[in-house]
């Protein structure tokens, strides 16, 4: 089983983000389920190299994924 995800920026400026793997607005990522290893894999940078992304368990027609992310920001210094 495989699928595409299209990333959309709702608001803000991604140009100031320091994460080199941050998807750009309109970028399409490909994901697939690896049932043998109970993983979701993604096609890293559309290179054909499918890397493990997250754990996933399938029960009948349900594919269960739990995803947690920690994000940090750098705020500009304020003038006194």
Domain locations in the chain as residue ranges: 2-65
pTM of the predicted model as reported, rounded to 2 decimal places: 0.66
Query: Using CA of residue 61, residue 65, residue 43, residue 7, what is the dihedral sign?
Result: positive
Q: How high is the pLDDT of residue 73?
A: 72
- pLDDT class of 9 with cuts at 50, 70, 90: confident
Residues 6+ apart with CB under 8 A from 18: 74
**Distance in angstroms (rounded) separating the CA atoms of residues 27 and 32:** 17
- pLDDT tens, residue by residue, 12-65: 777 777 777 778 889 899 999 999 999 999 998 889 999 998 888 888 888 888
Report residue 69's pLDDT band, with 50, 70 and 90 as the boundaries: low
């Amino acid at each position: 089983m495989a699928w595409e995800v299209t990333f959309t920026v709702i608001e803000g400026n991604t140009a100031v983000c320091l994460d080199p793997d941050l998807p750009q607005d309109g970028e399409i990522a490909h994901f697939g389920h690896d049932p043998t290893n109970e993983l979701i894999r993604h096609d890293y940078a559309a290179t054909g190299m499918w890397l493990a992304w997250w754990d996933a368990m399938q029960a009948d027609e349900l594919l269960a994924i739990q995803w947690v992310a920690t994000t940090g920001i750098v705020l500009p210094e304020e003038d006194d």
